[in-house]
Amino acid sequence: MTHTSRPRTPTPEAADATNLHPTTKTAPAAPTALPKPVRLYDIAKEAGVAASTVSRAFANPQRVNFQTLEHIHAVAARLGYRPSTLTDPAGGSERKTLDLLVQDIANPFYAGLVKGAVHQARAAGYTAILSDAEESADMERTHIKRMMDSVDGFIIAARWSSNAELLELNRKRPVVLFNREADGLSSVTTDHMDGSRQLIEHLVSLGHRRVVYLAGPRLAWSDTQRWQGLSRSAAAAGIELVRTGPFMPTVTQGAAAADVALASKPTAIVAFNDQLAIGVLKRLRQREVPVPQEVSVVGYDDAFGSDFCQPPLTCLSAPVEQAGRAAVDMLLDAINGRPQPRRLSLATPLQVRDSTGPAAR
């Protein structure tokens, strides 16, 4: 510690001494250098994109390709650039932002969800960012961690995160689940139990007595619900139901799923979702198995493309656009101080098309 003495009047001798031997003053210590702040230019250089693209990624993210957006945020996090909020480039104020995380952006099932959520968010003055988990546990968890400080809340079609992880996230940022339920969290789902009942009753009315279910991903909450609904309805109707799988919910998995199903000699096949069912139809056509004359095929969701595949697919219709609007309303309630968890289950009417018909004799 430096002590300052009280000034005294110097004697002539002292004054002469001072003149002859000037006092050497110690220079103040240089201040500790602060870490150099990470600039948008630094992120752009590291990410290999234009600085204007980086600026849009933080200020206007809906104008940036989702893969580029993910890459920029990853580089920014690695360099230590973690903005607490997204800002409005026009006024510099906090941007109200929601994150909508789906499992596979290429799956048309999510198109209605995105449309409903984006429109509802915009009406409330919020921006909705679309993110893709790519059917990956690592991507799902990494993205949530990365966006934690940049959004006001999450709407998540979560498959890989545990209930405990989602509850912990909800303590930091409000969360609404889509197509999944968990105690203590708000959620929007479709009525899988009643939908599955409609599906089985439709097949029974056509004379089907042996049905194969092509299961979806092992951790999918909706797969468990659909299997339970199918099992109960099949048992009540006295028909045989065989479970196979799991399969990834994609068109490309349809070929393998169809081959497995045919080995059980069913009169009807129920697929976990429309994408898998469309892949099954393609494989059956390759194997010259007529649909529905020899085997009927049914799917879930009524996603884009299910009504103009060949033949048009019978499926349960999921009101996903309505679900997207409802999920945003729930999330905004939580953001605005009304965090009481709510659950909404939407009806799923059966759309009967040409892929189902009377059971083969």
My answer on whether 167 and 265 are in the same domain is no
| Residue 33 within a domain | no
Q: What are phi and psi of 11, to 5 degrees?
A: -75, 165
pLDDT of residue 82: 55
| Residue 328 within a domain | no
Among 319, 317, 320, smallest CA distance to 351 is for 317
| Residue 106 within a domain | yes
My answer on whether 109 and 162 are in the same domain is yes
My answer on whether 179 and 236 are in the same domain is no
Interval 22-26 mean pLDDT: 45
pLDDT of residue 40: 76
Percent of the chain with pLDDT over 90: 62
| Residue 35 within a domain | no
Pairing of strands 97-102, 153-156: parallel
Record the pTM. 0.73
Integer Cα distance of 275 and 111 in angstroms = 13
Name the pLDDT band for 62 (thresholds 50, 70, 90). Answer: low
Range of the domain at 95: 40-190
My answer on whether 158 and 211 are in the same domain is no
| Residue 292 within a domain | yes
My answer on whether 45 and 174 are in the same domain is yes
My answer on whether 54 and 97 are in the same domain is yes
My answer on whether 177 and 126 are in the same domain is yes
My answer on whether 130 and 271 are in the same domain is no
My answer on whether 175 and 74 are in the same domain is yes
pLDDT digits (tens, 9 = 90+) for 264-308: 999 999 999 999 999 999 999 999 999 999 999 999 999 988 999
| Residue 352 within a domain | no
pLDDT of residue 99: 94
Name the domain count of the chain.
2
The last residue of a domain, from among 145, 163, 190: 190
Name the pLDDT band for 8 (thresholds 50, 70, 90). Answer: very low
My answer on whether 185 and 96 are in the same domain is yes
pLDDT of residue 60: 64
The last residue of a domain, from among 301, 319, 337: 319
Interval 173-188 mean pLDDT: 95
The last residue of a domain, from among 156, 175, 190: 190
pLDDT digits (tens, 9 = 90+) for 82-100: 554 444 444 444 558 999 9
Which residues does 33 contact at the CB level (< 8 Å), separation at least 6?
none
User: CA angle at residue 128 from 127 to 133, to 5 degrees?
Assistant: 150
- Which is more confidently placed, 158 or 18? 158
My answer on whether 71 and 183 are in the same domain is yes
CATH number assigned to the domain comprising residue 86: 3.40.50.2300
Mean pLDDT lowest among 20-24, 59-63, 294-298: 20-24
Counts for the chain of helices (H) and strands (E), in that order? 12, 12
- The residues pairing with 211 across neighbouring beta strands, listed in sequence order, are 241, 268
My answer on whether 151 and 242 are in the same domain is no
| Residue 1 within a domain | no
Torsion of CA 257, 263, 266, 269, to 10 degrees: 0
For residue 19, pLDDT over 50 is answered with: no
